Amino acid sequence: MKKTVTLLLLLAMTLSMTACAGKQESSSQTESSLTTAQTENCTAEPRQTQLLSPTKLTNKMTENELQFVNKHELTLLDEFEKPNADPNTEHKVSIEFIKGDTETTRKYLDDNRDMFTDEEYDHELRKLQKREEKGSEDLFPSTVLVDGYILPWLIPAEYDFYDGGSYWFITTEYDENGEQKEARPTFSSFEEYLEYVRDIDTEWGYSEELVDTEIMYLQIAYDALKSGDYETLPEGSVDRSDESKNFYNVFNNYRNDWEYDREAVEAIKDSVDEIRIYDEEMGKEFTVHVTLPPDYDKDKTYPVFFLTDGIWRFGNCPELRKCMENGEAAPVILVSLYYSYDVTDPDGEMRYCDLVINRELLLNFITDNLMPYLCENYNIDCGNSTLYGHSDGGVFTHNALFNSDKYENQPFGHYIIGSPALWGLKHYNEYEGISNDIYMNDYDYFDRNEKLDKTVFLCAGSQEDPDYADNYREGDDTTLEGVAKLKERLESHNAELTYKLYESHHYQYIPEMLIEYLKETYPC
């Protein structure tokens, strides 16, 4: 989500997902994570008991990232109606105003005099004088709704363009080096402002239909504000975190892309926390599902089973949780991660981009942002927690494991590397001129360390090599050949390794494997 600061106002504007130029060679459904704790149904002592102290990790989220986080009830099952794009129908405008005082505005102008040209400064003073004529208090349209949907952009006030004036706001932009800088977009007309909105949203990858509808809604709201034909809402009455009111998330609602058994999720929905979280480094918003175990006790400590590819793996959580209910496994917190509901990735290009190409950025986010945040909200035993990834996700967990020693935070003690598509990483490295020795030597982990202090579960499907035969190039290891070589390297360093080939193709074995892993790693 983009946050734009205007004079005396904070505008929350939804970020789109940043597209990646990298082309996915192949990907498939998978990724996971696990956790454990003792339950009354268990008859044997689990590996770790709930008497352990929770792990303390250092949260390195920025102030903006912390402000964006929103933990709420599960909305995956909710139905959302797309905004009405017909300009010929009647549309209702509702506006929540906030109060500002002209004295504060004058001080802001004086303190930031160097930001304005002489002409701009004189105009702002004249505009201020017009507002002062109304009294000491001033009203700003802070939240504007059309047909009940919150517009993601502010609407200029009636006096902004008077007497040839301009509308402007202060925002944060990023330069070519990724460094933040302050910017002040300025517009001489509302039409010019709309073109700016159109260009930004098109750049962010929003569909033409969404952008056209958004522009129409902005025009409707602006006309209503000028004419006074709107409903005034009490200050503080609009819940901006309400997913059903979020224009972008409702218009681009891809909940139907998620794969799960609706009845099974309905049965556990009261035990699921849903978290929206944004990462500035990646410029992306994520959806996190935290599935709490039966008889969850907030005063006890539990390991986490962390599943990537939540679009598929959250669908496994009801069955995993049932194992805990039946006393077949100790209680753990199930965490799954995927993009926000307003993002679709049908070709898997974004997934490949983040799990393979931008794997270090994703690892930074999980290690220094997400897991520390979760540790602040739940009592977690990180040393007994598991990070799971499959296919492109297996490339990611391989990277995460062998770069874990570089981090102050240690959120996981166990790693699942499932069917890692290392040949996909090889293709990217060759295209970029990067040496493949980096990952083939396990990121030089054993040059920096005498031994591996994590446990590894390495797995694949015995029948999966033909699944991606068309993607292998001359000189490539197949998936199984890459797995076999990784197994040999781990064994040569006496790593604590469990290795298993399932009678399966590329991803079909995952549900069985997750249940088996849960029972064996977190026994009752």
Domain spans in the chain, listed from the N-terminal domain onward:
28-55+62-79+253-521, 82-250
pLDDT over threshold 60, residue 144? yes
pLDDT surpasses 80 at 78: yes
At 295, the pLDDT band (50, 70, 90 cuts) reads very high
Per-residue pLDDT band at 6 (split at 50, 70, 90): very low
Q: What is the mean pLDDT of residues 170-178?
A: 72
177-184, Cβ contacts within 8 angstroms, sequence gap of 24 or more: 184/115
Q: Kindly state the tokens that stand for 139.
A: 């009203």
Q: Predicted confidence band at 471 (pLDDT cuts at 50, 70, 90)?
A: very high
Is residue 370 classed as helix, strand or coil in its secondary structure?
helix
Instruction: Check the CA dihedral 70-73-76-81 and report its sign.
Output: negative
Residue 338 near residue 71 (C-beta atoms within 8 A): no
Most confident of 37-41, 140-144, 515-519: 515-519
The pLDDT assigned to 197 comes to 95
What pLDDT was estimated at residue 399?
98
**Residues 307, 287: Cα–Cα separation, whole Å:** 12
d(CA 209, CA 3): 23
Of the candidate ranges 172-176, 215-219, 353-357, 508-512, the one whose mean pLDDT is the lowest: 172-176
More confident residue, 18 or 252: 252
Segment 21-30 shows an average pLDDT of 35
Query: Is residue 301 predicted with pLDDT exceeding 90?
Result: yes
Please tell me the distance from the alpha carbon of residue 207 to that of residue 292, in angstroms, as a whole number.
36
pLDDT band at 15 (very low <50, low <70, confident <90, very high): very low
pLDDT at 25 over 60: no
Helix, strand or coil, per DSSP, at residue 190? helix
Look at the alpha carbons of 388, 393, 397, 398 in this order and tell me if their dihedral is positive or negative: positive
CA-nearest of 443, 463, 435 to 400 is: 443
Query: pLDDT at residue 176 above 60?
Result: yes
Binning pLDDT at 50, 70 and 90, where does residue 134 land?
A: low
Q: Are strands 186-187 and 167-168 parallel, antiparallel or unpaired?
A: antiparallel
Residue-by-residue DSSP string for 36-62: ----TT--S--SS-TTSPPP-------
Beta strands in 302-392 (DSSP E): 304-307, 333-339, 386-390
d(CA 87, CA 91): 8
Q: How far apart are CA 294 and CA 310, in angstroms?
A: 21
How high is the mean pLDDT of the chain? 86
> Is the predicted pLDDT of residue 441 greater than 70, yes or no?
yes
Predicted confidence (pLDDT) at residue 21 exceeds the cutoff of 70 = no
Give 476's pLDDT tier (boundaries 50, 70, 90). Answer: very high
Flag whether pLDDT at 223 surpasses 70.
Answer: yes
Task: Answer yes or no: is pLDDT of 37 > 70.
Answer: no
Confidence of residue 329 (pLDDT cuts 50, 70, 90): very high
Q: Does the pLDDT value for residue 40 go beyond 60?
A: no
When mean pLDDT is compared across 35-39, 231-235, 372-376, 383-387, the lowest value belongs to 35-39
Stretch among 172-186, 253-267, 302-316, 404-418 having the lowest mean pLDDT: 172-186
For residue 178, the model assigns a pLDDT of 63
The pLDDT of residue 132: 72
> pLDDT grade, residue 135 (50/70/90)?
low
Q: How far are the Cα atoms of 106, 299, 489 from residue 334, in angstroms, in the given order?
A: 52, 17, 30
pLDDT, tens digit, for every residue of 45-59? 334 444 567 889 999
- Weakest mean pLDDT among 111-120, 268-277, 368-377, 455-464: 111-120
Superfamily of segment(s) 28-55+62-79+253-521: Alpha/Beta hydrolase fold, catalytic domain (3.40.50.1820)
Angle, helices 510-521 vs 317-325, to 10°: value is 30
Taking each continuous run of H as one helix and of E as one strand, the counts in the chain are 18, 20
pTM, to two decimals: 0.79
| Torsion angle of C-alpha atoms 302, 303, 306, 311, degrees rounded to 10 | -30
Q: What is the pLDDT of residue 204?
A: 82
- At residue 122, does pLDDT exceed 60? yes
Q: Rounded to 10 degrees, what is the CA torsion of 363, 322, 273, 331? A: -70
Q: Report which of 428, 262, 249 is spatially closest to residue 344, judged by C-alpha positions.
A: 249
- Phi/psi of residue 412, nearest 5 degrees: -135, 145
Helix (H) or strand (E) holding 513: helix 510-521
Predicted confidence at residue 142, as pLDDT, reads 84
Name residues whose C-beta falls within 8 Å of residue 242's C-beta, 6 or more positions apart in sequence: none
Supply the pLDDT for residue 466: 96
Helix (H) or strand (E) holding 110: helix 102-111
* Structure confidence at residue 103 (pLDDT): 78
Q: Which pLDDT band holds residue 137 (cuts at 50, 70, 90)?
A: low
pLDDT in tens, 245-260: 989 889 999 999 999 9
17 vs 43: which has the higher pLDDT: 43
